[in-house]
Structure 1
Amino acid sequence: MQIGPYKLKSNLVVAPMAGVTDRPFRQLCKRMGAGLAVSEMVTSNSLLYGSEKTLRRANHEGEVEPISVQIAGADPKMLAEAAKYNVDRGAQIIDINMGCPAKKVCNVMAGSALLKDEPLVAQILKAVVGAVDVPVTLKTRLGWDKANKNVPLIARIAEDSGIQALAIHGRTRACLYTGHAEYDLIAEVKQQAGIPIIANGDITTPEKAKLVLDQTGADAVMIGRAAQGRPWIFREITHYLDTGKHLPPPEVEEIRSVMLAHLADLIQFYGEQTGTRVARKHISWYTKGLAGSANFRHAMNQLQTHEEQLAAIDAFFNELRQQGERLTYIHEESEEMAAYA
């Protein structure tokens, strides 16, 4: 799959997820086989450009190309300025958020709330595309609610505006993350579109990835919650698509080593205090499904320093090792939820 001048190494994309897809996580997923990892949503409000959070989200030092940054807002001029701001700081692809269903985003008429106003969608897309000399992509949903599934029209507007790839989550805004993602409209858009289409929603296994690709004809699939604590899902899907066979699940020792390397990157990126807090949720995701992990996760959330975290991790995995060298991790499948941005 290609976006502008960038040929992706695979047709697997990491979904932008607030509080999750920071630089360490994006880098890890790319090492595991993702062809593209989209950043956390960056505000279009210029008053926030100097905030610590915004500066950190605009930090792409050492990141594997292509670097894709998602911006959100409802004002065409402000979004155009936000796009330029991020391109000046290393963004090679700008992604526009018209898919987030969160109330705090939709209440300011951003995210999926924009799907109610098709003329404004066109204004925003044209403004952003015209403001930068890098590819611009769009993430959206099927529509506002089940009575207003207007993604075929949104897709035509996007293509006419110069958008170079379109990611579609198979739910409406009203659905939030309930029920099951639907793929028929994604297939319809793909049949009509002259740009790459990325299918998103409920893709949690290699079999599901293949099913969605076959059913929709999409050029790529986007993985969100299923990659949390399971970044090797990208190599698992790649192997399955290539061979029709499953890779064996990772040994517990690999889980430990991947997690520890990830935590070290978090501490380096955020600093000791913030990095320790951010690490908690990742440790929880990595260890879910392992014997005794419920008690371990509860205790982990009480620890205040990174050194305490490392000591607890050592004790937990040493106990697992004593239970059997060949012990492997069994991932518990769960539906994608509101971690998506």
Structure 2
Amino acid sequence: MSSQVSLPQSLHPYLPLTALAPMQDVTNLWFMKVIAHYGSPDYFFTEYFRVNDTSRLNRNILAAITENDTGRPVFAQMIGESIPDLVRTAIDLCRYNIAGVDLNMGCPAPRIYRKNVGGGLLLSPEKVDRILAELRQAVNDRPLTVKMRVGFENTDNFYKILDIINRHNIDLLSLHGRTVKDMYHGAVRYDLIAEAVRRVDCPVLANGNINSAKTAIEVLSQTGAAGVMVGRWAIGNPWIFNQIRQALRFEPIAPVPLVEVRNYIDRLWQTPTAATMPERSRVGYLKMFLNYIALSVDTEGHFLRLMRQTQTEIELFNLCDRVLLDDLTKTLALAPSLSV
């Protein structure tokens, strides 16, 4: 049975899709705007709205939808397991200008899956079946999408869940090719993503360690996926979506001078909440991004180690200047290709 609802128009209808993965505490309105400055993906996904019997829509997460001027569609992601509350929240979200409602069935944080939500749902296909049946009825004029992993600690339920996704006419599946227990370690099962592409009727976004444009091309070719979803690697390299499009068009990938990386760090620092944040919190917030940026700049890890030792804004920015502005001919390292 074909998908009931059409997905929002992509930026380049003749190219595979690109999406920024939803990341808690990262993919807020500000970060979406920063990414858009360097080259938007086709689709954005919000941080997850927590859903339970007392939940209300989180205003900060909602801002990523209501105040979003990037011009790109934003899918609203929910995490939860209470069916009436998921349905209530989905109906609430559909009152806003969302591209669709996304159910999180992949979050690998133990404090999340222990509550049988996020990746924990993969242990219970029957529950997934009931949730998707009810959500599909509630969300009938917008895309209903799912983000999941290939299993909890093994892939025993993988095909069963793919068949449930088909049964309920899910419109888009974002599939991270690791199990929940793998977290972010170990090999990504691109072969299983390819299996999903063959088995489900909806488009599939391949997710998991897509660290460069070259890798994106290899993964698209190996899996036959409709597109790629990039998470942590887009934090270290916000140019990645443009680079993927350049690679798909067989254009040379424009190198990014480290001075541009220094400007990107400045942009992240100027978060709208900056004025009310104590310096220590701001430095901590920026370090969360720098954990990823540092590895793209210096694969040896010296920058990362020194960055983590800084405590004040002045120390942190002096270090960034020293590393990034020392040699103006240096460019951002392109992550190595996979041997897929």
Query: Which TM bucket (shorter chain)?
Result: 0.7 to 0.9
2:333 alignment counterpart? 330
* Percent identity between the two aligned chains: 26
8 Å CA contact 1:169, 1:199 repeated in 2:
yes
* Counterparts in 2 of 1:334 and 1:77: CA distance versus 1, 3 Å: farther
Give how far 1:129 is off. Answer: 2.2
Give how far 1:293 is off. Answer: 2.8
TM-score normalised per structure 2 = 0.84
| 2:181 equivalent to 1:174 | yes
Q: Which moved more, 1:57-66 or 1:198-207?
A: 57-66
Match of 1:82, SS?
Answer: helix
- For residues 264 and 111 of structure 2, the distance between their equivalents in structure 1, rounded to whole angstroms, comes to 34
8 Å CA contact 1:187, 1:215 repeated in 2:
yes
- For residues 7 and 19 of structure 2, the distance between their equivalents in structure 1, rounded to whole angstroms, comes to 17
| 2:150 equivalent to 1:142 | yes
Q: Which moved more, 1:238-247 or 1:213-222?
A: 238-247
User: Which segments of 5 or more consecutive residues in structure 1 lack a partner in the other structure?
Assistant: 304-308, 336-341
Q: Which moved more, 1:66-75 or 1:267-276?
A: 267-276
Give how far 1:144 is off. Answer: 2.6
How many residue pairs are counted as aligned between the two chains?
Answer: 321
1:257 alignment counterpart? 263
User: Which segments of 5 or more consecutive residues in structure 2 lack a partner in the other structure?
Assistant: none
Q: Which moved more, 1:234-243 or 1:314-323?
A: 314-323
8 Å CA contact 1:200, 1:222 repeated in 2:
yes
1:196 alignment counterpart? 203
* Counterparts in 2 of 1:270 and 1:254: CA distance versus 1, 3 Å: same
2:89 alignment counterpart? 82
Correspondent of 1:9 among 4, 11, 23: 11
Correspondent of 2:277 among 272, 277, 280: 272
TM-score normalised per structure 1 = 0.83
8 Å CA contact 1:59, 1:89 repeated in 2:
no
Letter in 1 for 2:272: I
Letter in 2 for 1:34: P
Cα root mean square deviation, aligned: 2.8
8 Å CA contact 1:46, 1:82 repeated in 2:
no
Give how far 1:279 is off. Answer: 2.3
8 Å CA contact 2:259, 2:325 repeated in 1:
no
Q: Which moved more, 1:206-215 or 1:56-65?
A: 56-65
8 Å CA contact 1:43, 1:82 repeated in 2:
no
Give how far 1:292 is off. Answer: 6.5
Letter in 2 for 1:260: D
Letter in 1 for 2:207: N
Where do 1:37-186 residues align within 5 Å?
A: 37-49=44-56, 54-60=58-64, 61-64=67-70, 65-132=72-139, 133-146=141-154, 148=156, 150-186=157-193
